[in-house]
Amino acid sequence: MVLEVEASVRLFGGRRALRDRVVQESTELGATQVAWATNSLAAIALARAGIENGFRKPLDDLLDGLPIGTLSATLPHATTLAHLGCRLLGDLRRLPRGGISRRFGKDLLTALDQAYGLVPCSHEWVTLPDSFTAHLELQHRVEIAPALLWGARRLLLQMCGWLGARHCGVTAYTLGWAHDAMRSREASAGGEITIRTAEPTRDLEHLCRLLAEHLAKIELEAPVLDLSLDAIDVQSMEHRSTSLLPDPQGNAESLALVLERIAARLGPDKVLRPVLQEDHRLEWMVHWQPHPEALPRRPATMADVPQPTFVLPEPLRLATKGPRPMYQGLLQLLIGPHRVEGGWWDRMGSPTDSTEQRTRQVTRDYWLALSAHAGVLWVFQTRLADDETAWFLHGIFA
């Protein structure tokens, strides 16, 4: 099985976390070797050779040392290549390309180029069958029915994957078993049991628990070597919302619990909430901090003036025409001035070096202004060091 995982690396927490999850879950499906490489054919060749990490050295060096049989395209020509002295992929790669194409066809040369990353690989999408049937040959003879659960679980896992891809659930499935050929004459060729559920489901653990209860009541006539599983009643399942936010039509859940779950799932630094500060300076009136740490603060007393909906990250200095500021035309001052002054206590820089510290001291006269094109704006006037006045745009009303 070939998996393209590059687009999902960030979603699963990095390459190492994704690798560990693939190894953990594929082992239950019977996978015995996992390998990683920059393309699918190289990964398959490394897996057949028992090499997992295809990034520990250049890909060409890794593939050159692999047996020639690790590339599927070489198998039809194995005898001829052996007579030519090709034991490794590196030996085949050093042969004249024209001779390889004439003697073995272009498919072998194309596969070789794809494995070495010279030509992109192309694959066909897997088409799911309309019905599910799976078989499993057990590793040893099973003489008691409850022991069949080990093999049946692997088949159920495959069925749940098929159901998930089709957005369906099963309400009835049949587990069948075939008895050993060396059974007694009184024993039948095999047996089966049909499990039914009250509603459509694809919950693996629920299906396994239900099957275990039924197998505990069965007595086998002879040892079992083969299992089969058929989904005989499949129904569409109602799609559940995957939103992180609470569903107003579903079970009621407080926003605090939802935020705690999101913070636990995505990390505390991914869920922030605004906390009002006792500060009249617009930039620092709201402080964003992680949700679990956001303790209620006593909000600042708001003045009897409107507050802008959107605040610019940095105040934008405006041009002036005489004493009036301009922003997409001359501005009409509606309400003001509203004096905001303070910040001498708000120091920035290193607390151990007073020479590097500076304060966020501001002295501003805010106005509610009207622009013929931009609408209602929040502007302020300040005085520079040489007593020259300057106008700035700080917020926009919506």
Backbone phi and psi for residue 166, each to the nearest 5 degrees, phi listed first? -95, 5
Q: Which of 146, 137, 132 has the alpha carbon at shortest distance from 227?
A: 137
Lowest-pLDDT range, 148-157, 163-172, 343-352? 343-352
**Residue in 381, 383, 385 with CA at minimum distance from that of residue 393:** 381
Judged against a pLDDT cut of 80, whether residue 42 lies above it is answered with: yes
| Band of residue 299 on the pLDDT scale cut at 50, 70, 90 | very low
Query: Which range is least confidently modeled, 94-98, 177-181, 242-246?
Result: 242-246
Rounded (10°) angle between helices 15-28 and 149-165: 130
Query: Over the stretch 247-290, which tens digit does the pLDDT of each residue have?
Result: 555 555 567 667 766 776 677 777 887 777 777 777 777 777 77
Given pLDDT bands bounded at 50, 70 and 90, which one contains residue 323? confident
How many C-beta atoms surround the C-beta of residue 330 within 10 A? 15
322: left (phi over 0), alpha (psi -120 to 50) or beta: left
For residue 296, the model assigns a pLDDT of 47
pLDDT at 133: 94
What pLDDT score was predicted for residue 174?
94
**In this predicted structure, what is the pLDDT of residue 30?**
75
Q: Of 111, 101, 125, which is closest to residue 39 (Cα–Cα)?
A: 111
Residue whose pair of structure tokens reads 């008895």 in the numeric block:
179
Q: Give the pLDDT mean for 40-58.
A: 90
Do the Cβ atoms of 280 and 292 come closer than 8 Å?
A: no
Q: How is 71-84 classified by DSSP, letter by letter?
A: SGGGGGGHHHHHHT
What backbone phi and psi angles, to 5 degrees, belong to 217? Answer: -100, 5
Ramachandran class of 160: left when φ > 0, alpha when ψ lies in -120 to 50, beta otherwise: alpha
User: For 203-224, what is each residue's pLDDT tens digit?
Assistant: 898 899 889 988 988 888 888 9
Give the confidence band of 46 by pLDDT, cuts at 50, 70, 90. very high
For tokens 């005489």, the residue is 322
Percent of the chain with pLDDT over 90: 24
Output the 3-class SS for 33-75: CCCECCCHHHHHHHHHHCCCECCCCCHHHHHHCCEHHHCHHHH
Question: Who contacts 122 (Cβ-Cβ below 8 Å, separation ≥6)?
Answer: none
Instruction: Spell out the residues 6+ positions from residue 22 whose beta carbon is closer than 8 angstroms to its own.
Output: 3, 5, 34
Mean pLDDT of the chain: 83
The domains of the chain, with CATH numbers, are 33-115 (no CATH), 133-236 (3.30.1490.100), 310-396 (no CATH)
Separation CA 323–CA 200 (nearest Å): 74
Residue type, 27: T
- Collapsing DSSP to helix, strand or coil, 229 comes out as strand
Whole-structure pTM value: 0.49
Which residue in 236, 220, 213, 155 sits closest to 188, CA to CA?
220
Q: In the structure encoding, which two tokens stand for residue 188, read together? A: 């039948």
CB of 340 closer than 8 Å to CB of 281: yes
Q: Which residues of 81-95 are buried (b: 16+ CB within 10 A; e: fewer)?
A: beeeebeebeebbeb
Rounded to the nearest angstrom, the gap between the alpha carbon of residue 44 and the centroid of all alpha carbons in its chain is 24
CA end-to-end span of the chain: 54
pLDDT digits (tens, 9 = 90+) for 324-378: 899 988 999 888 888 887 777 766 665 555 555 566 778 888 889 999 888 899 9
Q: Which amino acid is at 393?
A: L
Tell the residue number behind the tokens 């009541």, with chain if given: 217
- Distance set, CA 226 to CA 32, 148, 173, 179 (Å): 20, 10, 17, 7
pLDDT in tens, 103-151: 888 889 999 999 998 988 888 777 888 899 999 998 888 889 899 998 9
Q: Is 387 helix (H, G, I), strand (E, B) or coil?
A: coil
60 Cβ contact list (under 8 Å, min separation 6):
116
Best CA proximity match to 356, nearest among 348, 364, 365 = 348
**Residue found under tokens 């779950």:** 261
